[in-house]
Amino acid sequence: MKKILVANRGEIAIRVMKTAQKMGIKTVAVYSTVDRNAPHVKFADEAVWIGEAPSNQSYLLGSKIIEVAKNLNVDAIHPGYGFLSENADFAVECEKNGIVFIGPKSHAIKIMGSKLAAKEAVKAYNIPMVPGIDEAITDIEKAKQAATSIGFPILIKASAGGGGKGMRVVDSEADFESQMNRAISEAVAAFGDGSVFIEKYVGSPRHIEIQVMADSHGTILYLFERECSIQRRHQKVVEEAPSSVLTPELRKKMGEAAVLVAKSCDYLGAGTVEFLLDENNNFYFLEMNTRLQVEHPVTELITGTDLVELQIRVARGEALTITQEDLQIKGHALELRVYAEDPLNDFLPSVGHLDVYQLPVGDGIRVDNGFEQGMDIPIYYDPMLAKLITYGKTREEAIQLMIKAIENYQVEGVQTTLPFGKFVFEHEAFRSGKFDTHFVKKYYSPEILKEQAGKEAEIAALIALKQYFEDQKIVRLPN
Ligand code: MV4
């Protein structure tokens, strides 16, 4: 593999190219009109314009991207996350054109893209799943009976959904039919597939996911867990590794279950198996994401691996040289997603001009960034600017580093989730590790941030005043 095209933009495009560069592989960027001066374009060895700003006229144009790749003698395409990363047809098209798709085979993408197909595939492997009906519901009366025997509340999920899209909680039998009809028409409208199923609703779960890596020689490794419970409307905000609630025994059980999920679909490359963990530490398989995830850096830091390098190696047919026994957790890593969103205004996108943009630096601080001072943030794409990642010997050390790093991260011109992140890392529930997926809903309100900002302004004013008086003394000295 001499040349890789990265079919993505922003921080992840740069992240992938850094590893390619390290491995002596040439890089090709693709870009839309608004991204012509973007950092990922400057970073690449070659860059090709593929269309106008809207994703469906640029970063989602699989055939166009493959055409570019062929013209430039590209050996492989890395899709990053989002865009074409979980598109089974794109993976097939790559292979048909003699280009390696750096990711799993289309078969695995397809199975895991359907929740019902995923449940079916893992059935033979004894993977714990939430009690429910694991086929598409066609007869509402029968489904109501099943729901009653499972016990309310139950959750209706769309088979084609994912990341929380197309879910509905039903509290009682009386609401079942109407909620069911709504869920089906929503699923048809959103995914063109009205298949829905039901599960018992787990009230206060943690979201724990396991990183796996598989080669084409039968080895599948688990690289431990990431705790991703701190999210807002299914958008993750803070992630960490390891989780503070897993015992070594539970970690091993979940890791081995994740490996079996990967095995069930003949997995290749980097993948993530999502579980719910309930209050009694029971875990349940939810879904598998067949891509490199946004939050992969926390896993890299605690395992000392480069996941993109491993992806590239297994994609070119190499066998994994590390074994499960080699893998050990060392230290603790945290990640904050820095979005151009206003935490004081319902997290509305705050796109605009980056008047000031200075990243924090130092030992234990990593910033996976896609922007630079003076740039405009395009409205067309995800408003994530960067990921602020810290690594310490202990969780407490990583938290302290994070709070310092947030304070040293300077952004002017747009609002960001940095102050919101500070709120999370200073919160008692986060500190103690006693939180679940309801953290943001339970504890966050814009008023708290405003109060915090007010207090900080007050302290800053006092310090300035004190300094002013000190200066006055100096000035008066000659008298
Ligand atoms: C659940 C659940 C409770 N019970 N399934 C949301 C995202 C999707 N991957 C699955 N999700 C959930 N499935 C049952 N049976 C609660 C959630 C859920 C959630 C999961 C992970 C992270 C954040 C979440 C926020 C709300 C609901």
When the pLDDT of each residue in the chain is averaged and rounded to a whole number, the result is 95
Which residue, by CA, sits nearest to atom 7 of ligand 1?
A: 164
Ligand 1 is surrounded, with C-beta below 6 A, by 130, 155, 163-164, 199-202, 205, 207, 231, 234, 274, 276, 286-287, 437
Residues 286-303: what's their mean pLDDT? 98
Burial class (CB in 10 A: 0-12, 13-18, 19+), 143: buried
- For residues 268 and 304, membership in a common domain is answered with yes
Residue 372: inside a domain: yes
Residue 440: inside a domain: yes
Is the pLDDT score of 268 beyond 60?
yes
- For residues 262 and 402, membership in a common domain is answered with yes
Mutational pocket test of ligand 1: of 234, 438, 439, 441, the residue with most ligand atoms within 8 Å of the beta carbon: 234
**The predicted structure's pLDDT at residue 161:** 83
Which residue, by CA, sits nearest to atom 22 of ligand 1?
A: 207
- For residues 220 and 321, membership in a common domain is answered with yes
**The predicted structure's pLDDT at residue 239:** 98
Residues 334-345: what's their mean pLDDT? 97
b (16+ CB within 10 A) / e for 103-124: bbbbebbbbbbbbbebbebbee
Task: Measure the CA–CA gap between 279 and 282, rounded to whole angstroms.
Answer: 7
- For residues 36 and 177, membership in a common domain is answered with no
Residue 88: inside a domain: yes
- For residues 224 and 365, membership in a common domain is answered with yes
- For residues 357 and 224, membership in a common domain is answered with yes
- State the helix-helix crossing angle for 248-264 and 115-122, rounded to 10 degrees: 110
Closest ligand 1 atom to the C-alpha of 229?
Answer: 22
Lowest mean pLDDT among 109-113, 139-143, 220-224, 236-240: 139-143
Is 0.85 surpassed by the pTM of this model? yes
- Ligand 1 center to 164 CA (angstroms): 6
Mutational pocket test of ligand 1: of 209, 237, 272, 276, the residue with most ligand atoms within 8 Å of the beta carbon: 276
Number of helices (H) and strands (E), helices first, in the chain?
16, 20
Summarize pLDDT for 320-336 with one digit per residue, the tens: 999 999 999 999 999 99
- For residues 188 and 324, membership in a common domain is answered with no
Residue 220: inside a domain: yes
- For residues 137 and 27, membership in a common domain is answered with no
Residues 46-68: what's their mean pLDDT? 98
Is the pLDDT score of 164 beyond 80?
no
Number of domains in the chain: 3
Domain containing 148 equals 131-200
Closest ligand 1 atom to the C-alpha of 199?
Answer: 15
**The predicted structure's pLDDT at residue 100:** 98
- For residues 212 and 194, membership in a common domain is answered with no
- For residues 177 and 75, membership in a common domain is answered with no
**The predicted structure's pLDDT at residue 453:** 80
Read off the pLDDT band of 475 (50, 70, 90).
low
> Which DSSP string corresponds to 397-459?
HHHHHHHHHHHT-EEESS--SHHHHHHHHH-HHHHHT---TTHHHHH--HHHHHHHHHHHHHH
Token readout for 404 is: 């310092």
Choose one of 185, 200, 215: the last residue of a domain. Answer: 200
Closest ligand 1 atom to the C-alpha of 231?
Answer: 23
- Ligand 1 center to 398 CA (angstroms): 27
Residues 396-410: what's their mean pLDDT? 98
- For residues 373 and 434, membership in a common domain is answered with yes
Summarize pLDDT for 114-161 with one digit per residue, the tens: 999 999 999 999 999 999 998 898 888 988 998 999 999 999 999 888
Mutational pocket test of ligand 1: of 207, 231, 289, 440, the residue with most ligand atoms within 8 Å of the beta carbon: 207
Read off the pLDDT band of 342 (50, 70, 90).
very high
Summarize pLDDT for 171-209 with one digit per residue, the tens: 999 999 999 999 998 899 998 998 999 999 999 999 999
CATH code of the domain containing 371: 3.30.470.20
Residues 397-414: what's their mean pLDDT? 98
Residue 462: inside a domain: no
- Ligand 1 center to 315 CA (angstroms): 31
Residue 108: inside a domain: no
Catalytic residues, by residue number, are 291
Is the pLDDT score of 474 beyond 80?
no
3-state class percentages of the chain: helix first, strand second, coil last, to nearest 5:
40, 25, 35
Which residue, by CA, sits nearest to atom 6 of ligand 1?
A: 164
Residues 271-284: what's their mean pLDDT? 97
**The predicted structure's pLDDT at residue 23:** 98
Residue 107: inside a domain: no
Residues 285-304: what's their mean pLDDT? 98
**The predicted structure's pLDDT at residue 106:** 98
Share of the chain above pLDDT 90, in %: 86
CATH code of the domain containing 74: 3.40.50.20
Residues 75-79: what's their mean pLDDT? 98
Which residue, by CA, sits nearest to atom 9 of ligand 1?
A: 163
- Ligand 1 center to 169 CA (angstroms): 10
Is the pLDDT score of 459 beyond 90?
no
More confident residue, 328 or 456: 328
Residues 354-381: what's their mean pLDDT? 97
Residue 321: inside a domain: yes
- For residues 227 and 375, membership in a common domain is answered with yes
Is the pLDDT score of 476 beyond 80?
no
Choose one of 200, 217, 238: the last residue of a domain. Answer: 200
Read off the pLDDT band of 478 (50, 70, 90).
low
Which residue, by CA, sits nearest to atom 17 of ligand 1?
A: 164
Lowest mean pLDDT among 391-400, 408-417, 463-472: 463-472
Residue 83 — φ and ψ, nearest 5°? Answer: 35, -115
- Ligand 1 center to 202 CA (angstroms): 8
Mutational pocket test of ligand 1: of 155, 171, 233, the residue with most ligand atoms within 8 Å of the beta carbon: 155
- Ligand 1 center to 108 CA (angstroms): 22
- Ligand 1 center to 158 CA (angstroms): 12
